[in-house]
């Protein structure tokens, strides 16, 4: 794993309030009683002191204040800036920490006291058998939001990232990523580099995964479409291929089962109708099936001169129509750069021929594959209840469903 993504849009007031509430929840999970979190200096054994970046009303990051090198490294490595402005802001925070001006810039601090053995710090130090400091990322509202921890050495080197599954969905995702990384580690990949599992287990009812930090701080190289596609093809074949008509495939039966589970949701009926039309038109189309990353987006990878680093494997799956990763990456890139999600869906489907040809997808099956991907993504959003969680694109009727339904009707 590598630094977590940064949101493409500025925080709204509502998102800021949700982050503040989430900060309290995260602290109570990572430092349960008898540990205590306080903004005031007090009695008791000090486990950690955190700077709240940028402040307690709009928390994005808890920076361990154990030492200047550790604090500066925590800021420098916690996120992968997606714009020049984001990079400048990140560098300004690093400079403030280095220049000892952090008390002027970051007025909000949280002190954690209590027995180390009861804290996440103590658990991870024992599990990994090394001294460490923990930095905590406070992400935007999403159904799959979970505590993401950056683990640093006493010298300020980022050596690992941790994910903590707290509820049914996030625990399932953390277990899935653990299994994915174990499988990928022995799959013989040659076109990309993935993290290794350092530790996996349970702590106080939470699911824990610790994985190596990929070296995203090394100099970047331009990523060519050819190199990206080659890496996606590498993943597609890492667990073997199968071939067969859509409606007779294991993928189709699994997709219909997932759809049935959300059929009663407000947008489930429209999605189910689109799937029925798709089956009637393309059900006998022969497709080839393989593996996919599941969330291959620009913020989940970094290209170096001699390696393409890819992280966040919690949605990895096998037996899906070839080319899903290419369609997903195109859609996410367009949404990120334009902010027009509905227009991004339209443009992505129009590029189906170009995106899917390198995967050997037959011309007759390319639009069907792109529409199947949209169905799969929509079912994921409904299953995860992204709209209820306040996710920015959680309401599918505003962007994805209208395009999907119209395109299926035009087949």
Mean pLDDT in residue range 206-210? 98
- The pLDDT score that the predictor gives to residue 81 is 62
* Residue 372 maps to a domain: yes
231 shares a domain with 139: no
Residue range(s) defining the domain that contains residue 21: 9-159
Distance between CA atoms of 39 and 37, rounded to whole angstroms? Answer: 7
Bigger pLDDT: 262 vs 90: 262
Contact of 322 with 236, CB cutoff 8 Å: yes
Tell me whether residue 212 is in a domain: no
Domain boundary among 159, 186, 210: 159
Question: What are 395-406's pLDDT values in tens digits?
Answer: 999 999 999 999
Two structure tokens written together for 52: 């709240």
Q: Are residues 242 and 349 in the same domain?
A: yes
Beta-strand pair 206-212/197-203: antiparallel
Q: Show which of 102, 128, 159 is a domain's final residue.
A: 159
Residues 250 and 352 in one domain: yes
What is d(CA 380, CA 373) in angstroms, rounded to the nearest whole number? 11
Residue scoring higher pLDDT (158 or 90): 158
- Domain check: are 104 and 233 in the same one? no
Can you tell me which residue has the tokens 């620009």? 298
| Model confidence at 102: pLDDT above 70 | no
**Mean pLDDT rounded to a whole number for the chain:** 91
In the structure, what pLDDT confidence band is assigned to residue 21 with cuts at 50, 70 and 90?
A: confident
Element holding 198 (H helix, E strand) = strand 197-203
Counted domains in the chain: 2
Is 154 domain-assigned?
Answer: yes
**Cis peptide before 54, with omega less than 30 degrees from 0?**
yes
Q: Are strands 286-292 and 317-321 parallel, antiparallel or unpaired?
A: antiparallel
Q: What is the mean pLDDT of residues 336-356?
A: 97
Let me know whether 249 and 395 are in one domain.
Answer: yes
pTM of the model: 0.91
Residue 189 lies in a domain: no
Of the three residues 119, 138, 159, the one that is the final residue of a domain is 159
Residues 231 and 377 in one domain: yes
Domain co-membership, 146 together with 17: yes
150/229 same-domain check? no
Residue 55 lies inside a defined structural domain of this protein: yes
Statement to judge: residues 262 and 350 lie in one domain: yes
Question: Cβ neighbours of residue 253 under 8 Å, at least 6 residues apart?
Answer: none
Length of the chain measured in residues = 411
100-109 burial, b for 16+ CB within 10 Å, e for fewer?
eebeebbeeb
Kind of pairing between the strands at 148-152 and 158-165 = antiparallel
- CATH (domain of 337): 3.90.1200.10
Residue 203: inside a domain: no
In a domain? residue 170:
no
Cα–Cα dist 90/79, whole Å = 9
Six-digit token string for 20 = 């503040």
Indicate if 399 and 252 belong to the same structural domain. Answer: yes
Q: Say if residue 144 is in the same domain as residue 44.
A: yes
Identify the pLDDT of residue 98: 64
- Hey, is 129 helix, strand or coil? coil
For residue 43 the two structure tokens come to 């009695």
- pLDDT tops 70 at residue 349: yes
User: Which pLDDT score, from 0 to 100, does residue 72 have?
Assistant: 85
Among residues 181, 295, 314, which one has the least CA distance to residue 232? 295
Is 378's pLDDT higher than 70? Answer: yes
pLDDT of residue 399: 97
Two structure tokens written together for 217: 């701080």
**How many CB atoms are located within 10 Å of the residue 95 CB?**
13
CA 25 – CA 31 distance, rounded (Å): 10
What is the mean pLDDT of the segment spanning 171-190? 97
Domain assignment present for 191: no
Please say if the pLDDT value at position 11 is more than 60.
no
Three-state secondary structure along 270-330? HHHHHHHHHHHHHCCCEEEEEEECCCCCHHHEEEECCCEEECCCCCCEEEEECCHHHHHHH
At residue 166, does pLDDT exceed 80?
A: yes
pLDDT of res. 6: 40
Angle between helices 363-384 and 250-261 (to 10 degrees): 30
Based on the fold, state whether residues 51 and 151 are members of the same structural domain.
yes
Confidence bin at 287 (pLDDT 50/70/90):
very high
Query: Is the four-CA dihedral 125, 126, 128, 130 of positive or negative sign?
Result: positive
* Model pLDDT, residue 105: 64
Name the strand (E) or helix (H) holding 49.
strand 46-53
pLDDT of residue 151: 97
């Amino acid at each position: 794993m590598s630094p977590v993504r940064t949101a493409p849009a500025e925080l709204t007031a509502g998102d800021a309030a949700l982050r503040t509430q989430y900060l309290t929840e995260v602290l109570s999970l990572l430092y349960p009683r008898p540990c205590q979190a306080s903004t005031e200096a007090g009695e008791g054994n000090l486990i950690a002191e955190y700077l709240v970046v940028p402040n307690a009303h709009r928390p994005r990051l808890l920076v361990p204040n154990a030492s200047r090198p550790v604090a500066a490294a925590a800021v420098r490595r916690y996120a992968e800036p997606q714009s020049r402005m984001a990079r400048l802001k990140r560098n300004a925070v690093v400079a403030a920490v280095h220049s000892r001006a952090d008390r002027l810039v970051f007025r909000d601090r949280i002190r954690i006291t209590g027995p180390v053995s009861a804290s996440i710090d103590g658990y991870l130090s024992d599990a990994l058998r090394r001294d460490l400091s923990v930095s905590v990322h406070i992400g935007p509202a999403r159904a799959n939001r979970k505590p993401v921890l950056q683990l640093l050495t006493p010298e300020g080197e980022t050596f690992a990232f941790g994910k903590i599954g707290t509820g049914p969905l996030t625990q399932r995702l953390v277990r899935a990523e653990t299994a994915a990384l174990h499988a990928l580690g022995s799959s013989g990949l040659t076109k990309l580099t993935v993290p290794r599992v350092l530790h996996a287990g349970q702590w106080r009812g939470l699911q824990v995964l610790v994985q190596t930090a990929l070296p995203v701080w090394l100099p970047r190289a331009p990523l060519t479409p050819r190199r990206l596609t080659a890496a996606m093809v590498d993943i597609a074949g890492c667990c073997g291929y199968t071939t067969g008509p859509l409606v007779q495939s294991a993928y189709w039966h699994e997709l219909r089962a997932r759809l049935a589970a959300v059929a009663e949701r407000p947008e489930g009926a429209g999605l189910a109708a689109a799937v029925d039309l798709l089956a009637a038109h393309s059900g006998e189309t022969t497709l080839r099936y393989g593996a996919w990353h599941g969330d291959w987006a620009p913020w989940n990878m970094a290209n170096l001169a001699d390696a393409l680093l890819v992280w966040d494997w919690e949605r990895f799956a096998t037996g899906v129509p070839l080319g899903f990763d290419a369609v997903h990456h195109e859609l996410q890139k367009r949404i990120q750069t334009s902010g027009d999600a509905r227009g991004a869906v339209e443009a992505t489907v129009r590029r189906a021929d170009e995106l899917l040809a390198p995967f050997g997808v037959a011309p007759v099956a390319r639009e069907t594959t792109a529409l199947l991907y949209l169905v799969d993504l929509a079912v994921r959003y409904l299953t995860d209840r992204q709209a209820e969680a306040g996710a920015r694109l959680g309401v599918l009727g505003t962007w994805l469903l209208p395009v999907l339904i119209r395109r299926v009707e035009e087949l």
